[in-house]
Structures are given as structure tokens and as C-alpha cells.
Amino acid sequence: IASPLVNLPLDQIELMPFAAATASAAIPAATDVAGWVGLLRTVTVTFTAVPDGVAAGQYAIINGEQYPIVATTATTVTLEYSSLLADPTGTPVVQFALWRFAGKYRGLSSYSRASRKTYIDPLTGQVTGAPAGFPAFERMADGGIGLLLEGSSTNLLLDSEAFDSANWTKSGLDAATPIIANAIAAPDGSMTADGLKEDAANTWKNIAQGGITANAGETITFSVYLKAGTQSWAGLTIRDGVSYLHTPFDLANGQVGTVATGVTAKIEAAANGFYRCSVTYTIQTGLTSVLIYVYNSATPGLYIGTGATAIYVWGAQIEALPFATSYIPTTTTTVTRAVDMLSIPAPGNIYPAQTERTIILDTDVLGLFSNITQYIWATDQLYDSMVINTAGMAGAQNGAGGWSNTAQVGDGNVHRAAAVVNPGGATHYVAADGIIPTNTAYPTAAATGTPTRLYIGSYSSGANHLYGHIRN
């Protein structure tokens, strides 16, 4: 409970229409955004004159649907939107709207991201896209909807959906047609998932990509969307120097097999019968390549194939993080996803840290770092924040006197986390799911200064991102 009350539901937005205009010509056919086929669509709508105040970062409401605006001229508005939306058609009346996160708080929220990103649509479960500067809402671990807030990441693999390209070498697959391109519907609903057609010989069967920059001591995560074909076992392999670290996945039952030494693995159900499989590993010698294998059992090895399409693959990614983040599509170059930044004004919304207050929210995380704290929130005043440490324990700092007690919120489940300041700012403590652990002493020194903004999901400088979801 904050005083005054801040109610910032991070599971929805509200639109504030401020102008309208009728398209001066029929809306042309929309097209896929290059490199984002099946994820994002784009179209430009023409007007006699675009109303004053219309700009990128706003929404156009057409036939009841909300389309993000990414560019404008004096007479045109360019839209970029999730492929799950129907393409706008006709010569409609278009309403233009500002937006903010729904709730009761003073001032406009500030949200930014300098790149496109993908996310899991909470209604369909399909992978879809959000244009730069627009938020992405997903199902959280408990099934509720929250805002996905991530730091930056780069997909180091090339041709993440085009496994028939020369960037992927093939072994143990059909000599004439090793890859069946665009064979079935992918996790984003488009016909872009490829099939691996095995040969009929007694061979190891895989595709591989090398030339990836990852040195000794770096932790990487390799993730791919996989679906069973005639075979129900597949594997992700990291080649560290001359060592092959095989981890098999059961694509019939959604289970991880025997994990290679030093590797952690995860499997998550995705749309259209796929699973997102991932392996995380700290490089010991030097990353030589990564491989996607087909197996005929839980044990990696050679087998005599049938010449059929053994498994289906889509959305391969390597990132220098200790867990998988939202998928980043690539073609001929690596691609970087920019950071999510969210803040609200502090004046009128939260009192200074010296004053009695409680900041409470629901959160989950995609994973933890071994050497970096992840910020749930922070003001722009030093020593005024709530973070998750490397053990997944949330703690709060209200002054130079030290940290509060800590409570577990970093286990992948949704937790209601609260940071409480007692009268006068003399003590500061945290609670998780209504329980206040007493595992450390509370700090007694209150923070000084009056905050101007409350940053959510990162430190005020934009560092130490949450990599997770937040909602009220």
C-alpha cells in the first residue's frame, strides 16, 4: 500500500484518443516486415492531412483494432503490428490515441525500447512480434498476464529460421534434400518451420553452425524450437574445444533426458506442437560449434535412418546469458534486442524514502545471474531500490545503512513482493507472499533526497535489468 496510492496494472494499457481522420484512399495490402515473416506486418495509410500531434509511438484504432504507429509524414501513417491482428482494410475513419499503462497514478508512464522484439501472445500462445517502443504482455508462471521486461541480448546464430542455408552444415541427412524448407506451421503460426530429413545409413544425424564468438569463461544459452516428426528424440549439443556436450530431449512427452556434465537444460511447451529446448553452459576451452541432433532413443548415437522427416526445427538462438530470453530472429547477420525501460513520475505517486510507504507488486524471473543483481524497481535516489540477488532472494535498500532482510522470489514462480518503510524511515524490510522473513537485520539509515522517477524492472541508469515479468 503506497500513500498516495499508486495503482499501475502492468497487464494492460489504456488508450486516450485525441484525433480522428478518414483515409483518403483504400488501405493497400499489408506486407510482412523483412526478417520478421510470421511475426510482424506493416502497411502505410494515406490521408489528405494527418492530424496535428500524430506521431510514432502512438496507436491508430481501425475497425476496433489497435495498430502501433511507427512513422508518419504530413499525409501518411505507417503501421507495424503483430501478425496475429487482422490486416486493416477499406477506407476507414482512423482514431489516433496516446497510451499509458492502465491504472491510477499521476502523469504519463515512460516506456521505451529501441528495437523490435518477440513475445508469447497471452491469448493464442503463439510467438509474435512487438514493434520498437511498444510493450509486450505475456502469461506469467501462474497464468496471469504481466509485462515482459528484459535487458539487451544478441542472437549470435545466423539464419535462425533458414536451416537450408549454407550457414548450417548437414551430416547424416538425405543427400538430395536434407532440409524440407517451410514444411509445417511454426510456433508463430507461419509456414516457416523446416524439417530434417534423415538418411537411411547408420550415421550421426545433425545440423551444425560454427564461427560463433564465445570464449572460455563465458556463459551461453543455446535454444531451439523443436517438434517430433518420425523420431521423437532430439538433442542440443555444445562443442567446447574437442568435447561434445550432448543433451537429449523427449519431444513426445516434453521431458529433458540425461544432461551433459556442466550443462543445465530446460524444455517448455510452445504453440503448434513445438517445444522450446535450451541448454546453458559456461565455456571451458572455446566454443567450436553448436549442433542440433536427431536421435532414435534417449541415448545419443548413430542409428539407421528411414529417409523420412525426423524432426522439425525453428528459431535457433545463442545468447551470452545464463538463460533463454525472448527469441530474436536473424538472417545473414547477428541481431540485438534493445532493453525495455519503464518508469513513472515519483511526485504525487510515491513519497520519499524517508517517509512511511509500501511498494508491492507481482513478479517472476526468466533466470538468475551468478554475478549480477536484477532490479525489481529503483528510484533515482541512491540507496532506494528493491533487487533480486544471485540466490534469487529479494532485498531492499533504503539507505546507506545496509540491506533489508531477504525473501525468495527468484525461483521462476510468481511472488508478491513488498518493500516496506516504517514511520520515519527508521527500518526497511521486504515480504514475499505475505510473509516477512527475519533472516537479517533491517537497516536503520534512511535514504536522503526526493525521487523524481520510479524505474520498474531496472536500475535508474538502465542497468541490472529484471529479465522477467511484473504486474500489480
Say which residue the cell 485525441 belongs to.
Answer: 18
Question: How do 341-345 and 233-240 pair as beta strands?
Answer: unpaired
The pLDDT value given to residue 442: 64
Q: Where in the chain is the domain with CATH 2.60.120.260?
A: 155-336
The pLDDT value given to residue 441: 58
Tell me if 316 sits within 8 A of 328, measured CB to CB: no
Tell me if 208 sits within 8 A of 290, measured CB to CB: yes
Tell me if 266 sits within 8 A of 345, measured CB to CB: no
Q: Where in the chain is the domain with CATH 2.60.120.200?
A: 341-471
pLDDT at 220 over 80: yes
Residues 411, 412, 416, 420: is their CA dihedral positive or negative?
Answer: positive
Residue 196: alpha-carbon gap to chain centroid: 27
Least confident piece of the model among 22-36, 167-181, 235-249, 423-437: 423-437
The pLDDT value given to residue 269: 98
CATH topology classification for 155-336? Jelly Rolls (2.60.120)
Q: Where in the chain is the domain with CATH 2.40.30.20?
A: 13-101
Say which residue the cell 545503512 belongs to.
Answer: 401
pLDDT digits (tens, 9 = 90+) for 255-308: 999 999 999 999 999 999 999 999 999 999 999 999 999 999 999 999 999 999
pLDDT digits (tens, 9 = 90+) for 105-146: 888 889 999 999 999 999 999 999 999 999 999 999 999 999
C-alpha–C-alpha distance, residues 364 and 118, integer Å? 18
Contacts of residue 80, defined as CB under 8 A and 6 or more positions apart, other chains included, come to 33, 40, 41, 42, 68, 70, 131
Q: Radius of gyration over alpha carbons of the chain, in Å? A: 24
Tell me if 130 sits within 8 A of 119, measured CB to CB: yes
Q: What angle do CA 137, 142, 147 make, to 5 degrees?
A: 20
The pLDDT value given to residue 1: 42
C-alpha–C-alpha distance, residues 113 and 130, integer Å? 10
Instruction: Please report, as a single letter, which amino acid is at residue 202.
Output: N
The pLDDT value given to residue 440: 64
The pLDDT value given to residue 111: 95
pLDDT digits (tens, 9 = 90+) for 192-219: 999 999 999 999 999 999 999 888 999 9
Q: What is the mean pLDDT of residues 449-455?
A: 87
Tell me if 365 sits within 8 A of 334, measured CB to CB: no
Task: Retrieve residue 305's grid coordinates.
Answer: 535412418
Domain at 13-101: CATH code: 2.40.30.20
CATH topology classification for 341-471? Jelly Rolls (2.60.120)
C-alpha–C-alpha distance, residues 363 and 419, integer Å? 13
Mean of pLDDT over the chain? 92
C-alpha–C-alpha distance, residues 2 and 4, integer Å? 6
pLDDT at 4 over 50: no
pLDDT digits (tens, 9 = 90+) for 76-98: 999 999 999 999 999 999 999 99
Please give the residue that has the higher pLDDT: either 227 or 387.
Answer: 227
The pLDDT value given to residue 446: 60
Task: Retrieve residue 362's grid coordinates.
Answer: 507481482
